[in-house]
Structure formats: C-alpha cells, structure tokens
Amino acid sequence: MTYRTGREAFIHGIRTLIPLTPGVVPFGLITGVMAVEMGMSPAMSIGMTLLFYSGSAQLVALQLLQNGALPVTIVATALIINLRFIMYSASLAPYLHHLPRRWTWPVSYLLSDQSYALCSLKFSSGELGRFAPHFYAGTAFAMWLTWQLSVFAGVYLGASIPETWSLTFAVPLSFLALLVPSIRGSASLGAAVVGGLIAVFAVKLPYNLGLVTASIGGVIAGLLIESIRKKTLSSASVNNVGRESR
C-alpha cells in the first residue's frame, strides 16, 4: 500500500500495531506491580520505565535487584538482553538513516521488538513507498504509549495485590512466554537448554555471575550446533551429488 501523505501512513502504522496490544499489556502490568513491590516510589518506577523502554530488561533488573545483585551486574545483564536492538538498528538503518537527527534520535529511542517485527519485511519489500518512515513512526509511537500506560496502571494496582497470590511467579512465566517462540530450531533449542542448565548449576556463583556465564555458554552452544548442522548438511549434499552423477 502506498500512502498519499505522511499523516495517512502514520495513522495506518498506529492501526497496524493495535492487534499486538493484548500481548503487551499483561507484561506492562506485571512490570509496574513488581516495581512497586520492590519498594520503589511511583515516580521512580515511571522514570525507570521511560529510561529503559524495554520490558524484558526492566523485569530482569527488578528480579536482580530483589536478589541483591551488584549494580554493575544488573547494568551488564540488562544491556546484554538489549543487544538485539543492534540487530534491529542494522536492519532498519537503510530506510531511516537519511532523516534529519531531530527525527532519527526519537524514532531510535522508540525502537521495539514489535515495531521491528511489523516493519522489517514491509520496508525491504518497498510496499510502503516514500512514507515508510511515517508508518514505522506510527507503530513505534503506539507501542510506546501502550507500554507506558500499562506499566502506569500496574504501578497503581500494585499496592492493592495481596502476597498470597504469588504474583512473583508471573515474572518467570512472562519470560517463558517470550522464550518459547524464540526457539525456532535445534540450535536455538540447544542455546536455551545449555543456558538454562548452567544457570541452575551456577546459581551459587557470587554477584549473580551465573546468569552472565550461562548466557554466554548458551550462545556458544547455539553457534556450535549451527556450524555442526551446516557441515553435515553440506557433506550430505556432496554425497548426493556424487551418487547422482554416477
């Protein structure tokens, strides 16, 4: 679809994001509830949400704060989780870099998993025409607003939720809901299994270093499985070619 005006593209971007909001709101609510349960003031919880604008990193930081991890570990872990944004930035850059800085900086701050997922294919197919950045800005802004409002709601609900509801279990559950779709083959399954097991056995390492060790171990396992599979695939195809030529 090509748009006649930037405004039209922006509004269509907002509309395209709306179906994704049911998956976002529960995370936001839990994040807000957890922040308040950690003893943070509403202003601080909202400040954290504005600065991070990254649900998984924020939930992880809250959990590590609860475990009494060192600030350096918390910052490092949150940034490792957000490394994926470098990938997103690289894949959207060809379509955004020509804009002036007063636009690239705000739209970069607004970059999220959801608007990346909605825009990356549409950008590369060229179907959005010359107002593609406006469409992206619409999805990104709608996502940002949904996230901020749902954390805000969680912050104000938080204080009224009794402890017997065991709501802290909702945090690993929400990570589980992100983890399962991220497993797309044997290599990512291997990364998850190795990362999870190292984390369980390394839990007694000081300063929560177990998490960083486990993450690196999982990534290495994924890379190893990927290269082993590539080798067996290519040697299998060589054998087939050999057989066919005979």
Partner 1 sequence: MSDWSLWVMFLAVGIGTFVMRLSFVELYGRWRIPTLLSRALVYVPASVLAALVLPAVVYPHGQGEFAFDNPQIPAAIIAAWIAWKTRSTVLTLAVGMATLWGLKILAL
Contacting partner 1 within 78-117 (CB under 8 A): 78-90, 92-94, 96-97, 104-105, 107-109, 111
Q: Give least dist CB 110 to partner 1, A.
A: 8
Site string for partner 1, 157-196 (x = CB under 8 A): --------xxx-xxxxxxxxxxxxxxx---xxx-xxxxxx
CB nearer partner 1, residue 160 or residue 182: 182
Subset of residues 1 to 40 that bind partner 1, contact rule: CB under 8 A: 22-23, 26-27, 30, 40
Q: Is 154 in the site for partner 1 (CB under 8 A)?
A: no
CB nearer partner 1, residue 9 or residue 24: 24
Q: Give least dist CB 154 to partner 1, A.
A: 13
CB nearer partner 1, residue 39 or residue 242: 39
**Cα–Cα distances in Å, from 244 out to 232, 238, 239, 240?**
18, 10, 9, 6
Q: Give least dist CB 131 to partner 1, A.
A: 18
Q: Give least dist CB 222 to partner 1, A.
A: 3
Q: Is 48 in the site for partner 1 (CB under 8 A)?
A: yes
Q: Give least dist CB 246 to partner 1, A.
A: 36
Q: Which two tokens stand for residue 8?
A: 């039209």
Of the candidate residues 9, 10, 36, 63, the single one contacting partner 1 (CB under 8 A): 63
Long-range contacts for 119-123 (Cβ within 8 Å, ≥24 apart)?
A: 119/92, 120/88, 120/91, 120/92, 123/92, 123/94, 123/95
CB nearer partner 1, residue 177 or residue 241: 177
Contact 188, 41 (CB under 8 A): no
Q: Is 137 in the site for partner 1 (CB under 8 A)?
A: no
Classify 147 in phi/psi space as left (phi over 0), alpha (psi -120 to 50) or beta. alpha
CB nearer partner 1, residue 1 or residue 201: 201
Of the candidate residues 223, 228, 233, 238, the single one contacting partner 1 (CB under 8 A): 223
Q: Give least dist CB 44 to partner 1, A.
A: 7
